[in-house]
Chain A
Amino acid sequence: MANELSLTPPVLDMKMVANYVREGRFQRSLALLTAATSVISGLEVAYEHYRGSYSRRVMYTPVILSGLLAIAGVAAFFSRRAARTVLRLVSVVTLIDALAGFYFHVRGIHRKPGGWRLPMTNMIMGPPIFAPLLFGTSAYLGLIASYLQREESSGMPSTSGRDIWFARLLPPSAGRELLSAEQDMREGRFQRQVAIVTGISALLSGFEAYYSHYKNNFRYAMQWSPVVIAPVLAGVAFSSIKSRRLATTALPAVSAIAGADAAIGFYYHVRGVLRRPGGRKRLLYNVMYGPPIFAPLLFGAAGMLGVLASLLRRRRV
């Protein structure tokens, strides 16, 4: 049997994975993915805030939280209980931190000479305005993961781990709606939600790419690619809310293109870092002031969300 299994053609493997996702049985893999993305966005925020010299203590919180989220993700891979408690809690806290960060970045731009009266100058020279929200991506993945079923679970989806206490705080109809939405997530029926997040993520990271590359005067033609792809991805993602057909055809296609573009961007950014004076010998310094090495992967995260959305089911009507 074991031999037979390992001999299954890749197409079948992919179908199997798609099936798991369709039914919402991918908690363990998504928890691991959360951990991985959290490590990357943690590194990104660590050196970006290093550039800002951690001039406020609050700048340490995303670095610490991304470490905690990575640990929670790994714990959730091993334990179903951890997935439903620790991972959910850390994810929520990280999402709140992302919102707080967004506030501080908006305020940081406001505080610069001229403030919002000189929006373009101060957005380019000030803290990256949408970066904190993009940092929330991994927390969002963690939050979803906490509601899913584990790969090995079979039969009817379990209902344990529901936020009943939270639903009780809400008015009865909203509480029921929340529990029903949770149940749908558990069954992999949340395509629209992920499509919306995909669209937002694409817009935000596209805008970040736009003004970061603008700082470099779009010296390489390739620097336009995320700026061009992002609105297309966002358009397709938002259209997928209405059209199920788009969600299963155009959305995965454009998402794959965005993912590939992110990989190319990552290569170029690494090359840009190594090409700087001192190159490998001054690696830390060059990572800090070279092209942001992990930033293209944040754009890739939008593509990844798009692929995820395309594999999910829509909510029952």
Chain B
Amino acid sequence: MKKPLLGEFETPSSNKYRVGPLQSIHMPMRRFREYEDVDYVIVGVGSAGGVLLQRLARAGFNVVGLEAGPFWDTEHDWVSDEAGSHELYWTEPRVTGGTDPLALGANNCGKGVGGGSVHWAAFTPRLHPSDFEIYTRDSVGADWPITYDEIRPYYEQLELEMPVSGPAYYPWGHPHGYAYGPHPMGGVGNALIKGCSALNIPVSIGGPVAILSGSHGDRPHCIYRGFCIQGCKVGAKASTLVTHVPDAIRTGAEIRDRSMVSRIELGKDGRVTGVHYFDNEGHSHFQRAKAVIVSGYAIETPRLLLNSACPGHEKGLGNSSGTIGRYLMAQAGNVVLGRFEQPVRMYKAPPAHALTEEFYETNPKNDFARGFAIQTVGPLPVAFGKQVLAAKKAWGWGLRREMMDYNHWAAFGLLGEILPWKDNAVTLSEDKDCFGLPIAHVTFNLHENDKKLIKAAREKTEEVMQAAGATEVVQEARYAHLVGACRMGSDPRTSVVDKFGRSHDIPNLFVCDGSLFPTQGSANPGLTIQALAARTADYLVSQGERIFTSNERDMTTTPIRRELAPPETWGKGVPRLK
């Protein structure tokens, strides 16, 4: 057969996963035996798990990542369709309750390699220095066991690895600039700029968002097709599936997909010895490991630890403080919708592309502590339909008429800090899932400060929408992100893990994901989760074999190991403020 001009199109092959139109992971990957005592088992290969896996593999450890969901071949498994993307979410049974129950699933939990980073909108603001000490400053919430300066090199590093697009000067928090240039605006971004400019509110244009504005090795740049949170088939949006997992596989890590971890095994010496998991066919296995890292995010991490209760740890593994599952936080994520005379076409851009953090910090003039951010949101028609249903109680023909008007609407999201409260918790329910494991029961209540903050944030967002020229403004109350529930701290009586994510009770058990957060700020947590993962990895690498053999706890902070970054990180990026 004659070859087509300039070579053939790539044909699918069984020994590689395509994770983008140009990018693929070549198989076979290394396989460990179950009786082999691997160095680390990582439970959950998501935002944090992906980074940990890559770092530890590159440092030469034997690592296995167990992931409940599938290893995506994005060209084959993903569709650019709202309704067709439900497989990206964690939709196993869960019970939600409390006075303000959270909607769980699509918005805050992922399943599959890459985890939630596969369907996040990829907003990546840093936390502010004040976020690490809100108890000291405002007498609310809790202080972090680390300061901004300790995590800052990891922010800078991960912003290069994703990489993050945004302005060269970002004025809020600790001022800094971004590695990749800002994105052009869609209709919603233009509305936010217009509204903010009219009210003299500074606004950050074109980021910070972990979507490529220029190409990056074998990842093409964004083409503004709008399907960010349905899984970016272009490969422009950063997920650990495209940023860290390829390098992890290359350097000898193993990912066992469709493997649901059911229990962590504790040995007689008070150290964990491995994990039990179910494979795709429901067969039970046990993987031996010298240390275990749980990266299952804010619901599955506490659920696994609670489910692993055993003699000596009756309240749950490593739960002597009784705080596993406690201090769960979501962020207020009300969506404010505005109708414009001119078409907005909010599908024509990434949902995340402009924001203002002008109201982020505690303002003494307010009657509440802490603050909020205003961001662009670009719901696609189905999500929009749900929002007008909630916001305008539209139904039947009325809903249909509203939905036909989709092109004229713009949506802003507020992102308000909700403080950590002990009664907001993940506990075990009576009900069981398909493996016979008790499912999570999530309780969520708003408190006085939270309600006042949400009210003020909503009013300000509506004001901006009106200033942008909207003729009709409505809003829907909802929540975004889930963090906390296995918080870190220096006091073993009030926290689950220490500042490196190591359990206070069990020296070779680690937690590393969003559940570590003592407080959450009004910043999207994705960047901080990955920064914490890289930091934990550096600590583990510096400790070396001592983690596996000794119960001693070395709390010295080590300098960042930039050499562990994926090699394609270097040699790219715009001039910027550090």
Contacts and interface: CB of A to CB of B under 8 A. Distances in A.
Interface in A80-126: 108, 110-113, 115-117, 125
A277 B182 contact: no
B214 interface: yes
A117 B4 CA distance: 9
A56 interface: yes
Interface residues of A, number: 26
B385 interface: no
Nearest to B189: A277
Contacts of B163: 53
B54 interface: no
User: What DSSP secondary structure best describes chain B's contact surface?
Assistant: loop
B22 A113 contact: yes
Contacts of A112: 220
Most buried by A among B21, B22, B182: B182
Nearest to B22: A113
A117 B5 CA distance: 8
B6 interface: yes
B212 A53 contact: yes
B185 interface: yes
Contacts of A53: 163, 165, 179-181, 212-214, 216, 221, 572-574
Interface stretch (A21-29, A135-143, A144-152, A281-289): A281-289
B6 A117 contact: yes
B242 to A, nearest CB: 15
B573 A54 contact: yes
A161 interface: no
B223 A125 contact: yes
Contacts of B122: none
A170 to B, nearest CB: 36
Contacts, number: 80
A317 B167 CA distance: 59
Contacts of A281: 197
B571 interface: yes
B365 to A, nearest CB: 25
Nearest to A116: B6
B214 A51 contact: yes
Interface in B162-215: 163, 165, 167, 179-182, 184-185, 190-191, 193-194, 197, 205-206, 212-215
Contacts of A289: 184-185
A51 B215 CA distance: 10
Nearest to B191: A277
A106 to B, nearest CB: 12
B388 to A, nearest CB: 25
Most buried by A among B22, B179, B181, B184: B181
A285 B165 CA distance: 13
B22 A52 contact: no
Interface string B322-348: 000000000000000000000000000
Interface residues of B, number: 34
B4 A51 contact: no
Interface in B36-85: none
A115 B215 contact: no
Contacts of B4: 117
A242 interface: no
A288 B185 CA distance: 11
A56 B223 contact: no
A121 to B, nearest CB: 10
Interface string A182-197: 0000000000000000
Given A111-B22, A112-B220, A113-B21, A54 B214 contact: yes
Contact of B206 (A55, A116, A125, A285): A285
Interface string B358-389: 00000000000000000000000000000000
Interface in B1-39: 4-6, 21-22
Nearest to A113: B21
Contacts of B223: 125
Contacts of A125: 223
Contact of A50 (B181, B184, B194, B216): B181
A27 B517 CA distance: 67
Contacts of B574: 50, 53-54
A50 B213 CA distance: 9
A51 B181 CA distance: 6
Contact of A288 (B6, B21, B182, B197): B182
Given A53-B212, A55-B215, A117-B5, A282 B205 contact: yes
A277 B193 contact: yes
B159 to A, nearest CB: 12
A117 B10 CA distance: 13
A57 interface: yes
Interface string B450-472: 00000000000000000000000
Interface of A: 50-57, 108, 110-113, 115-117, 125, 276-279, 281-282, 285, 288-289
6 contacts: A53-B574, A55-B212, A110-B6, A277-B190, A288-B181, A289-B184
Closest 5 CB pairs between A and B? Answer: A53-B214, A53-B180, A52-B214, A55-B214, A113-B21
Given A56-B571, A289-B185, 8 more contacts: A53-B163, A53-B214, A53-B216, A54-B575, A55-B212, A55-B216, A56-B572, A276-B190
